[in-house]
Amino acid sequence: MLKRKRFFFAILAILPTLAIFAYVRLYPIADTLRLSLFQWNILSKNKPFIGLANFRELMGDHLFLDALINTTIIAFGVLVLTIPMAMIIAAMLFHRTRSRMAGFYETAVFIPHVVSLVPAAMAWKWIFDARLGPLNALLDFIGIPMQNWLFDPVLSVICIIVLCSWQALGYAVLIYLVGFKNLPVSLYEAAKLDGASGPQSFWHLSIPMLKPITLYVSVVTLVSGFNVYAQAFVLASDAQGAPGRQVRVLVLDMLENSFRNYRVGYAASEAVVLLVIVLGLTLIQFSMLRERGKS
């Protein structure tokens, strides 16, 4: 009797949240999967089922492939820059936890992660600006030829990677810091007694023991890298001033197909590709964790 009453309360309490969740999360996810199999132009009334034709078209769509390649390069570029730097900074911060400056360091590294994307991107747009930016002025000052940072096809991708890494670094440092705080102190003391230096125990103890954290941070960084949009929108306007067109990324391509070309089904199939990438990365993370658990 009592148990039934409690079950009744649980259902009643969860119902509003569940309803919202179903409406704003489950339904649109299912709808994305469904729409990806249809040809739907917002303007036309009928929505014919076309199976996997959207996906087949994507494979030959050079705008989409361009976006996919750019996005992949950005995601992995951010990963390669962020993870080693975050690990070193977190190790140093952990070493100086008790110093009076620790709070300042932590805040300074973390602020780029919380400030609004667009104003922060604006700061970097000025830094990279070919005519007015301090970066070119600095290059000129030390005698290196000035570069057209934001309009060169390779350099503009690098600019986006730098901006994204600057933002991602704080989060990674914070998660690593939690990791360092959870490592057993006794192990480091033992290593010290055996004559291991600081860098040695960092290399042989910390890096292997932080592997689960590294996996987690890597996947989070990659996933957010694949969703890059605002940074490219602000930083990579093309010569005509069209936002984000210089470095095309997946989300931009998807939104253009949906709202400029009115091809919603086609855009949905791009969203499914994004989903598959994210699921794949998450699966790799889980299987690597399990492997580690076995050995």
Partner 1 sequence: MTLETMRHTEQTAEEMAEGGRLRRKKKLTNLAIDIFLLSVSVLMLLPLVFLVANAFKTPAEMLAWPPTIVPGEPTLDNFKAVLSETPLLRWIGNSIAFAVMSTIAIVATSAIAGYVFGKFRFATMNVLFALFLATAIVPFEVYMIPLYFQAKSLGILNSVWGLLLGYLVMSFGIFLIRQNVIHSIPDELLEAARIDGAGEFWIFFRIVLPLLRGALGALAVLAFFQAWTAFAWPMIVTTTRSSYTIEVGLALFQTGFTVDLGRLSAASATVLIPSILLFVILRRNFVQGVASTGLKE
Work out whether 203 is an interface residue with partner 1 (CB under 8 A).
Answer: no
Query: Cβ distance 226 to 76 under 8 Å?
Result: no
CA distances from 169 to 28, 224, 279 (A): 32, 12, 23
Helix residue ranges, H only, 96-210: 102-114, 117-128, 134-141, 153-182, 185-193, 198-201, 207-209
Distance CA 52, CA 30 (A): 16
Residue 2 beta carbon to partner 1: minimum distance, rounded to whole angstroms = 8
Work out whether 151 is an interface residue with partner 1 (CB under 8 A).
Answer: no
* Position among 63, 80, 115, 187 found at the interface with partner 1 (CB under 8 A): 115
Residues 218-257, mask of contacts with partner 1 (x by CB under 8 A) = -----x--xx-xx--xx--x---xxx-------x--xx--
Distance CA 228, CA 210 (A): 27
* Position among 67, 75, 247, 272 found at the interface with partner 1 (CB under 8 A): 272
Distance of CA 282 to the CA centre of its chain: 13
* Position among 127, 158, 196, 207 found at the interface with partner 1 (CB under 8 A): 127
* Position among 84, 184, 198, 208 found at the interface with partner 1 (CB under 8 A): 198
Residues 22-61, mask of contacts with partner 1 (x by CB under 8 A) = -xxxxxxx-xx--x--------------------------
Distance CA 137, CA 154 (A): 20
Residue 39 beta carbon to partner 1: minimum distance, rounded to whole angstroms = 15
Query: Cβ distance 214 to 87 under 8 Å?
Result: yes
Vertex 190: Cα angle to 85 and 88 (nearest 5): 5
CB-wise, 80 or 286, nearer to partner 1?
A: 286
Work out whether 20 is an interface residue with partner 1 (CB under 8 A).
Answer: yes
* Position among 1, 17, 185, 291 found at the interface with partner 1 (CB under 8 A): 17
* Position among 57, 61, 112, 188 found at the interface with partner 1 (CB under 8 A): 112
* Position among 74, 75, 89, 157 found at the interface with partner 1 (CB under 8 A): 89
* Position among 81, 157, 168, 174 found at the interface with partner 1 (CB under 8 A): 174
* Position among 37, 50, 146, 175 found at the interface with partner 1 (CB under 8 A): 175
* Position among 97, 148, 200, 282 found at the interface with partner 1 (CB under 8 A): 282
* Position among 149, 166, 180, 202 found at the interface with partner 1 (CB under 8 A): 166
**Residue owning tokens 């667009």:** 118
Stretch that binds partner 1, among 56-64, 153-161, 201-209, 259-267 (CB under 8 A): 259-267
Residue type, 267: A
Work out whether 65 is an interface residue with partner 1 (CB under 8 A).
Answer: no
Work out whether 200 is an interface residue with partner 1 (CB under 8 A).
Answer: no
Residue 45 beta carbon to partner 1: minimum distance, rounded to whole angstroms = 15
- For 236, which DSSP code? -
- For 148, which DSSP code? -
Distance CA 94, CA 62 (A): 47
Work out whether 95 is an interface residue with partner 1 (CB under 8 A).
Answer: yes
* Contacting residues for 181 by C-beta, under 8 A, at least 6 apart: 94
CA end-to-end distance (rounded Å), the chain: 48
Instruction: Map residue 49 onto helix, strand or coil.
Output: strand
